[in-house]
Amino acid sequence: MFNPESFLEFWTYNPTNPLLFTSKGFLLLFTLFLIIYTALRKNLSARILYVTAFSLYFYYKTSGIYFLLIILMSITDFTIGYFLHREQRQARRKLWLLLSIVTDLGILCYFKYTDFFAEIVSDLINRPLDVGNIFLPVGISFFTFQSMSYVIDIYRRQLTPTRYWIDYLFYLSFFPQLVAGPIVRARDFLPQISQKPEVTDEMFSKGLILILIGLIKKAIISDYISLNFVDRVFDSPLQYSGFENLMGVYGYALQIYCDFSGYSDMAIGIALLLGFRFPKNFDLPYRSATITEFWRRWHISLSSWLKDYLYISLGGNRKGRIRTYINLLITMLLGGLWHGAAWRFIIWGGLHGAALAVHKFLLSRFPGMKPTSEGMSRGRHIANGLLTFHFVCFCWIFFRAADMEIVTSMLSQIFTNFDFQLIPAVLEGYWKVFAIMALGYLIHFLPMNEDKTVGYITKMPLAVKVVLTVVVIWVVMQMKSTEIQPFIYFQF
């Protein structure tokens, strides 16, 4: 029976029920979208308008009226890019670039950092400073960085601006990666817009695999260990033993990886089903043997963005060793601030920046050291890998904890109140959580060849692929929490 209220709710923004890749609503909506998209394959203009409209609607379902921000940013940077490309005088070109950066970062800073800076000022003047209730639009950091890279690439003469504004809006709002990445460069994406979308068997199979893997990572592993263990420990670390706190840290390391890489997998997979290719965003990062290698494997689109547009702009390694170390530290401090307006994110970024600088220093002093695991002996790889993994886990405490009091409480429990005698009881009480954690880490560290897996799935009959999809979705629905669990990186 038709229910007008349910119908209206489906098409309007509800802050308590945002549209997520893992929701039944998105599955239905994407199926309808795909049918019409396939019908418009040969009509370029209609396809661009249709996908753009759907992408804006998708963002409206996650952030409400703030979809207008994407339209505003697309207008300003498309216009600036046009005039920047035509301008030959270097001084004027710098002014156009500065205008774009100030506009984009001004929007980002207002929504993301006003409360943080107001808190700092309040502490300095010893008086509360009321800035009102500022809503943080989902994924604002992602589409801001994408838009900035477009103008910077034009300034560097690495990109010719697109002729049509609607193409740029299509790029900036494309829904698979809009709210949590990967951060796609304009020079990689824009040429794909005008091409007729051809979905090969290999693309379809790989897209299907990535979507199913992403669903498993998010709904089965990440959400389960989060709700049933990790969140409880981080909310009240003093109520749990040191062993439970340590397991909570290991659990969060797996949770954030499965949550974020799961979203990236689904985004890349959905894009493949639409005929678009995105760059890989994660490459089994916990296998890294050095901190440098970790940042080549973790959130690859962000780390490469920071390297190309911030680290190199600061001088990179071209101005001597000391300046190189300072540039690394500044880059990661700002990378931490990108993640959130809080001192704990800055500390997290600073720790990683310091570790990268130390590793760079050691590489210069000991030529025999390896920057990555490639060429390392198995024993050296395992030892270095354990050290790198535990350093990353230590830093995750600052990233996840609500405040510095939680950080000190967790570290205190781990180092002064481990309670070895409670370990059997803890393992018995949380055996399901630990079993899923063990399975997650086992899969992560097992050797696998993605291309062979894709080839194997490609050769499967269509009926088998359908059954596999249905089974995974059924398992996800059985384990899925009734509570909405947004992706962690939605807040960034």
Could you tell me which of 295, 317, 313 has the C-alpha nearest to residue 149? 313
CA 483, chain centre distance (Å):
22
**Residue of 85, 299, 339, 444 marked catalytic:** 339
How far apart are the C-alpha atoms of 89 and 159, rounded to whole Å? 18
In contact, 141 and 68? CB cutoff 8 Å: no
Residue labelled with tokens 């089994």:
284
For 144-213, the DSSP string reads HHHHHHHHHHHHTTS-PPPS-HHHHHHHHH-GGGTTT-----HHHHHHHHTS-----HHHHHHHHHHHHH
Cβ-count burial of 82 within 10 angstroms (0-12 exposed, 13-18 middle, 19+ buried)?
middle
Query: 188: which residues sit within 8 A by CB, 6+ positions away?
Result: 279
What backbone phi and psi angles, to 5 degrees, belong to 354? -65, -40
How far apart are the C-alpha atoms of 370 and 290, rounded to whole Å? 8
CA 239, chain centre distance (Å):
31
In contact, 226 and 485? CB cutoff 8 Å: yes
In contact, 354 and 329? CB cutoff 8 Å: yes
Helices (H), 90-139: 90-125
Cβ-count burial of 170 within 10 angstroms (0-12 exposed, 13-18 middle, 19+ buried)?
buried
What backbone phi and psi angles, to 5 degrees, belong to 437? -60, -45
Could you tell me which of 138, 135, 134, 136 has the C-alpha nearest to residue 181? 138
339 given a catalytic annotation: yes
CA 445, chain centre distance (Å):
21
How far apart are the C-alpha atoms of 416 and 141, rounded to whole Å? 39
Residues tagged active-site: 339
